[in-house]
Amino acid sequence: IEIRRHKMGMVFQSFGLLPHLNVIDNVAFPLKLQGLPLAERRRRAERVVELVGLSGREASYPRQLSGGQQQRVGIARSLAVEPELWFLDEPFSALDPLIRRQMQDEFLRIQQVLHKSIVFITHDFLEALRIADRMAIMRDGMVVQIGTPAELIVNPADDYVAEFTRDVPLVRVLRAASVIDEGVTQNPQMPVVDGSTPVEDLLPQLARHADGVAVRDAGGNILGVATARSVIGALAQEGEKRIDLQQAAG
């Protein structure tokens, strides 16, 4: 219980807000369970309410909020305890597709600020592709394979993983760091993207910048240049690997 109260933040599919408490009191509730003074509870709650974009709604009650806003309150509440581990159990599955996409964007923005260790549970493989650095696929309560999204799709551990990932577009899997053109050098006019940028998001920039886009690592060092040619080549190569695996499995 002490670990749950002090070191873990949890977000649930069903929001789980207390209907008789307003936003600020819902967010501060786990801090009250910790026995923190009122002033400290208020300070922390106000900070995370601002972080999730709900400033001005502190006095609102759950019934006065949209589904997306209610889940933002749930996210703020989970972060109020300043957790070491952030655990999210299908947090966006109850939302309509547009709001779900917006909440995924919000989740990614918050993670860029906080840099938490996160366990995110989802049955939506495309959602996992969008937000995960590493993924674990489970079957019958057992972990079948762990790896990066690209590893799971290009080198599935068994037929179950291959079937799970067979229809996933490769542009959502491959990252900028894996499509570098070795024959091109950077010039100062090139835009720069992170190596973790999905190829799907890289394509619009390549359409505007025929010379290519520079790619940097997490430390800001330039890894090389991605070009339309290198992207097409990588997609073709990985597509052939996928076909070979499917034929072998069939």
Average pLDDT of the chain to the nearest whole number: 86
CATH 3.40.50.300 applies to domain 2-123? yes
- Better-predicted residue by pLDDT, 221 or 246: 221
- In whole angstroms, what is the distance from residue 87 CA to residue 120 CA? 6
What stretch(es) of the chain map to CATH 3.10.580.10?
Answer: 172-233
- Whether pTM exceeds 0.75: no
Domain 172-233 falls in which CATH fold?
Answer: CBS-domain (3.10.580)
**For residue 244, is pLDDT > 80?**
no
DSSP-assigned beta bridge partners for residue 180: 226
- Tokens representing 69 are 């806003």
pLDDT, position 194: 92
**For residue 19, is pLDDT > 90?**
yes
If you search the block for the tokens 């993983």, which residue do you land on? 161
What stretch(es) of the chain map to CATH 3.40.50.300?
Answer: 2-123
Ranking 20-34, 50-64, 114-128 by mean pLDDT, the lowest is 114-128
Name the pLDDT band for 55 (thresholds 50, 70, 90): very high
pLDDT, position 188: 86
Name the pLDDT band for 3 (thresholds 50, 70, 90): low
Angle at the Cα of 213 from the Cα atoms of 207 and 218, rounded to 5 degrees? 135
- In whole angstroms, what is the distance from residue 93 CA to residue 194 CA? 28
The DSSP output letter for 45 is H
> Average pLDDT, stretch 73-100?
87
